[in-house]
Amino acid sequence: MENNLTLGEFIIENQKHYKSTSGEFSRLLSSIKLAAKIVNYKVNKAGLVDILGDAGDVNIQGEDQKKLDVYANDVFMQTLINREIACGIASEEEDDFVAIKGKHGTNENKYVMLIDPLDGSSNVDVNVSVGTIFSIYRRVTPIGTPVQQEDFLQRGNQQVAAGYVVYGTSTMLVYTSGHGVNGFTLNPAIGSFYLSHPNMEFPKDGNIYSINEGNYVHFPQGVKDYLKYCQEEKDDRPYTSRYIGSLVSDFHRNMIKGGIYMYPTSSIGPKGKLRLLYECNPMAFLAEQANGKATDGYVRIMDLKPTELHQRVPFFCGSTNMVNKAEEFMAKYPEDA
Ligand code: P6P
C-alpha cells in the first residue's frame, strides 16, 4: 500500500479543486486527519484504558455521554480551535456552536465545520465499530466577524466537503470535496492514511437493507410495505438484513456492496432519530457524490432548510434504485408525509 498516495499527497494534488488559495481548506482537512489519528488510538485502546462507561453527563440529545464521546469531542474541538483553521465549529455533543477567535480577537477564516465526534458510541463497550462524521461549509456572514447561527443552518447542498472516519477492523477516512468519494486506510505502524478506495460508488442496486426492525410496529405503513417487499420471495428477493447500529459502518458497507439504510419517522420518534446537520447532510453529500441517493422519504435531504442545530429528520440513503423503490411505497400514503 505504501506505493499508494497518502491522504496528505492527495489533498495537495487536489488543491486545484478548492477555490481557497490560502491553503486554508487543505489545512482544515489535515487537522481532521490528525484528530482522527488521535481518536483512533484511544478507540483502539478503549478496552484497556479506563475511558469506557458513562462520563456522567447527559448531552443535549438526552443521551448518556460516554467518556469516549467526550474525549473525541474534545480532540476535534481543540485540534481546530488551537490551530484557528476554521472560524466556527458545531458539535453534536455541544449545546451550541463555538466561534473560534483569532489571536487578535478576529478570525479571517472562511470555513465552518460541523461534527459528530463519535457516532454510534454506545457500541464502544461491546467492541463494535464506531465513527466520526464531519461536514464543512463556507461561512455566509462577513469574514472577520464572529460566526452566527446562520453560518451553520445552511442547506446540505451548500457543503464544501463532508466525510467520515470509521474505526473498524481497519481505520478508514472517507471524504468528498465535490469531486467524487475517496477512501484512505490508516497504516497504524507509521500513522499514515493511504488511498485504498479511489472513486467509491454505490452500486445502483443492492440486496441489503439496514433498519432497526425492533421499531416495526411504530413505522409508517409505507415503510412496513417496503420491508415486506424486501422480505418476499420474488425476483432478486428476499434481501439480506444487516444493521450494526452505527450509521457510519452501515453506510460504508452498503456503499461498497449496495444497499439501503433507513431511519424513518415512527410513532415514538416523529422526526426519526438522526440529526440533519451532523449525520444526514454529510452522509447525503457522500451518497450523491457516490451516485447514490439520500432523502427523508419524500424530499432530497440536501435541499432541506435547517431551522435548528440539533433537528432530526427521517433518513433513507443508499443505492439509488433501492431508495426510489422505498419512496414508491412511501408515496402511497401521502398522509404520512
Ligand atoms: P437505534 C447512533 O446513535 C445512531 O445515531 C446511528 O449511528 C445509528 O445508525 C442509529 O443511531 C442507531 O439507532 O435506535 O437503532 O439504536
Give the Cα separation of 335 and 337 in Å (integer).
Answer: 6
Q: To which H or E segment does residue 294 belong? A: strand 293-295
Summarize pLDDT for 196-237 with one digit per residue, the tens: 999 999 999 999 999 999 999 999 999 999 999 999 999 999
Please enumerate in sequence order all residues whose Cβ is within 8 A of that of 244, keeping only pairs 6 or more positions apart, or say none: 120, 123, 128, 129, 210, 250, 253
Q: Peptide bond before 238: cis, by omega within 30 degrees of 0?
A: yes
Q: How far apart are CA 14 and CA 199, in angstroms?
A: 14
Q: What percentage of the chain exceeds 70 in pLDDT? A: 93
Q: Is 162 exposed, middle or buried (0-12, 13-18, 19+ CB in 10 A)?
A: buried
| Residue-wise pLDDT tens digits, 113-145 | 999 999 998 888 888 999 999 999 999 999 999
The verdict on whether residue 201 carries a ligand-binding annotation is: no
Ligand 1 binding pocket includes 146 (Cβ within 6 Å): no
Q: Please classify residue 146 by burial: count the beta carbons closer than 10 Å to its beta carbon, then call 0-12 exposed, 13-18 middle and 19+ buried.
A: middle
Whether 89 and 117 have beta carbons less than 8 Å apart is answered as: no
**Is the CB–ligand 1 distance for residue 123 below 6 Å?**
no
Q: What is the pLDDT of residue 217?
A: 96
Which of residues 51 and 97 earns the better pLDDT score? 97
**Residue 324: its pLDDT value, please?**
98
Query: pLDDT band at 66, cuts 50/70/90?
Result: low
Q: How many residues does the chain have?
A: 337
Mutate which of 273, 275, 283, 311 for ligand 1? The one with the most ligand atoms within 8 Å of its CB, which is: 273
Protein residue with its CA nearest to atom 2 in ligand 1: 120
Residue 43: pLDDT above 90? no
Arithmetic mean of pLDDT, 294-308? 98
How much of the chain is in helix, strand and coil states, percent to nearest 5? 35, 25, 40
Work out the average pLDDT over 295-316.
98
- The x, y and z cell numbers of residue 124, run together, are 464502544
Is 324 close to ligand 1, i.e. is its CB under 6 Å away?
no
| Residue 224: per-residue pLDDT | 98
Q: What is the pLDDT of residue 311?
A: 97
Quote the ligand 1 centre to 212 CA distance (angstroms).
8
Q: Is 122 annotated as a binding residue?
A: yes
What pTM was computed for the model? 0.94
ipTM confidence score: 0.98
Residue nearest to atom 3 of ligand 1 (CA): 120
CA distance 295 to 314: 8
Regarding the beta carbon of 273 and ligand 1, being less than 6 Å apart is answered: yes
Average pLDDT, the chain: 92
- Identify the sign of the CA torsion 315, 323, 138, 103: positive
> What atom of ligand 1 comes closest to residue 116's alpha carbon?
5
What per-residue confidence (pLDDT) applies to 105?
74
Q: What's the pLDDT tens digit per position in 8-25?
A: 999 988 877 766 556 888
Q: Binding site annotation covers 119? A: yes
CA of 269 to the centre of ligand 1 (A): 13
